[in-house]
Amino acid sequence: MNKNKAKTGILLVNLGTPDSTATADVRKYLREFLMDGRVIDIPLIPRWMLVNLIIAPFRAPKSAGEYRKLWTERGSPLLFHTVDLKEKLIPMLDSSQYQVEMAMRYQSPSIADGLKALNKANVKEIIVLPLFPQYASATNGSVIDRVMELAREWQIIPNIRFISNFVEHPLFLEAWAELGREMMAQGEYDRFLFSYHGLPERQIKKGSVDGYCQLGNCCANYTKKNQFCYRAQCFYTTRLITEKLNLPPEKVVTCFQSRLGKDPWIKPYTEDLIKDMADKGVKKVLVFSPAFVADCLETTVEVGEEYKEQFMDLGGEQWDLVPSLNSRDTWVKCVKDLVTKED
């Protein structure tokens, strides 16, 4: 192997997290996150007023309290699980051929720092893997947008390849199936609930091809016209994991969480399905969150604690959350395959 041969750079990018649970740090994170025009897709001035005068000041103290519930000695789980993923991936790759960096879309470590390290190493190509299985403009699209914004300032721009989604990757599905089997070995469940992060309906409509999107049964099929529809990808992910686990389809439900504001978001809402299940006498539920590859506020606190409390208050008996992929070996192998496989 020619030691002077340029390496391929790999940039793993997750969403981001506050630097600490202090209200000031949470407020800083919320401002950067929510001022992204792909996250809150309204004009700049009303977005600035909404975020800086309403959401960040009033939501930061409450969010800081929520972050304290999941913070550990290592800090934010989303951050350290992503660090662990990177550290387990590096030895699986030839160090003479690859250089791996990781970043957060918001806060630290930044995409700018990750790209700077790869640029300094004079890599011949950069492969960017946003760690979001289903494509959405607010997540994958935002990462791609930011990378291009930074790279266009360089005098020399190497090949840059983006991995836009990976819902069909066999190892991604197998990693979730392994986790599901481990949980299911402990007992029987009445329902299997797949809860994904929600998005405003208008964002789904914006990406609709030839007016295909009806925000309804059109998501029952995954085709070239809705291959980048976030809602369709979520339902598809559910179907693929359901098949892997041989779950009875009539016991499987897909829903969407984490609404913000009064505009309509994609349905069905997780809160509504919790009430519906309780009304039907469902007692034991196993919950998957396959929009997240690392445990975070939305999985550990929102799904694992808040939704559990709602379900139990309505008469439920058992609400178990399947852990996220984090740095599980099968998931690390999936990432290796994603970044080393040729187009």
Low pLDDT (below 50) residues in the chain: 1
Angle of CA points 255, 256, 262, to nearest 5°: 135
pLDDT digits (tens, 9 = 90+) for 177-214: 999 999 999 999 999 999 999 999 999 998 888 778 88
Q: Burial code of 118-152, b = ≥16 C-beta within 10 A, e = fewer?
A: bbeeebeebbbbbbbbbbbbbbbbbbbebbeebbe
Q: Does the model's pTM come out above 0.85?
A: yes
201 is in an annotated binding site: no
Angle of CA points 116, 330, 307, to nearest 5°: 90
pLDDT digits (tens, 9 = 90+) for 148-184: 999 999 999 999 999 999 999 999 999 999 999 999 9
306 is in an annotated binding site: no
